[in-house]
Amino acid sequence: MNQLTTELVELLTLEKLEENLFRGISRNIVGKRVFGGQVLGQALRAAAMTTDRPAHSLHAYFLHGGDIKAPIIYQVEHLRDGKSFVSRQVKALQHGKIIFMAMISFAPQEEGLNYQTSEPEYPAPESLKTEQELKESIVNFLPENVRVNFMRERHIDMRYVSVTNPFTPQPEAPSRAHWMKTWDSLPDDEGLHQAIVAFSSDFALMGTGLMPHGISFMTPNLQAASLDHTLYFHKPVRADQWLLHDMDATVTASARGLNFGRMWQNGELVASTVQEGLMRVRETEER
């Protein structure tokens, strides 16, 4: 298995300490703080280990930034074990405080009313540049001391439909899309595939709300953080096959932005995402 895929599977493989109590490791994915997608994936994985059903919805709040140098403890509470639906609450703890909470619901696949909106038409992922090729084109904008960290490959193969230089952003409509999948194939473990989709769902979503303002995560005086995250699974999904994450933002107000996403695979709308993020532009002496 590809080394990056192996690392991702290890990251989302939790140690069971006792019933309903699990421990997860951390990796430097985006910097000094724990990547939100890591906590989403690990929390979903912890809850899934207490039931034999796939998840259909996750509603989460990020309460404190996580420390990448310390493990995270996941405490799972059983709220409901019904004939159709199973409900779990997950608390992520670090250094004696709750850094994240989620409500996760599980249900088996069943036949019923079936409708979906139309899939957007975008270029195929194979026709798009790799993320590393895009990074190479803007690496000269970076100071030498941060280039090594910036040029690291992600654990997910991502192909961007529309490309902008984050160092010279311009105001544009808040709509973007990218394809994504793991670098290598995965075993037929539905819980693992859903956890990796949850992990990947946090990439680029919040930045959609920055687009109409002509700023990016590289803007020096921007304070940005994920506040909450919702993920719905509509149909079975594989994280090792191309997924299209089509995203847009509807409003920015009170230093927050609301972003929506739809995930498509093989013509099927398999998942939907919603995230509100903090978007605070601070005045600086230089400005």
CATH code, domain with 179: 2.40.160.210
Do residues 73 and 93 touch, judged by C-beta distance below 8 A?
A: yes
By CB atoms closer than 10 A (0-12, 13-18, 19+), residue 157 is buried
Is 273 in contact with 264 (CB distance < 8 Å)?
A: no
User: Within a domain: residue 167?
Assistant: yes
Asked whether residue 184 is assigned to any structural domain, the reply reads yes
Count of domains in the chain?
A: 1
How many whole angstroms separate alpha carbon 194 and alpha carbon 106?
A: 12
**What's the token pair of residue 214?**
């002509």
- Residue 272 DSSP code: E
The answer to whether residue 114 sits within a structural domain is no
Q: Cβ neighbours of residue 1 under 8 Å, at least 6 residues apart? A: 9, 184, 185
pLDDT tens figures, 250-266: 999 999 999 999 999 99
Dihedral pair phi/psi, residue 257, rounded to 5°: -130, 145
Distance separating alpha carbons of residues 220 and 14, to the nearest angstrom: 36
pLDDT bin (cut points 50, 70, 90) of residue 285 is very low
The parent domain of residue 151 ranges over 3-108+125-281
Which of 206, 200, 203 has its CA nearest to residue 259? 206
Catalytic residues: 202, 226, 275
Q: What is the DSSP string of 118-174?
A: PPPP---GGGSPPHHHHHHHHGGGS-HHHHHHHTSPPSEEEEESS---TTS-----S
Please report whether residue 286 resides in a domain.
no
73 domain-assigned: yes
Any idea how long the chain is?
Answer: 287
In a domain, residue 118? The reply is no
Tokens representing residue 33 in the block: 């703080």
pLDDT at 191 over 90: yes
SS3 at position 16? strand
State the amino acid at position 109 in one-letter form.
Q
For Cα atoms 276, 262, 227, give the angle at the middle one, nearest 5 degrees: 15
Domain assignment present for residue 113? The answer is no
Any domain includes 7: yes
What the block records as the tokens of 89 is 């609450």
- Judge whether residue 284 has pLDDT over 70: no
- Over residues 80-105, mean pLDDT: 97
pLDDT, one tens digit per residue, over 93-131 is 999 999 999 999 999 999 999 999 999 999 999 999 999
Minimum mean pLDDT among 37-41, 149-153, 168-172: which range?
149-153
Mean of pLDDT values over 52-60: 97
Note whether 280 and 223 are within 8 A (CB): yes
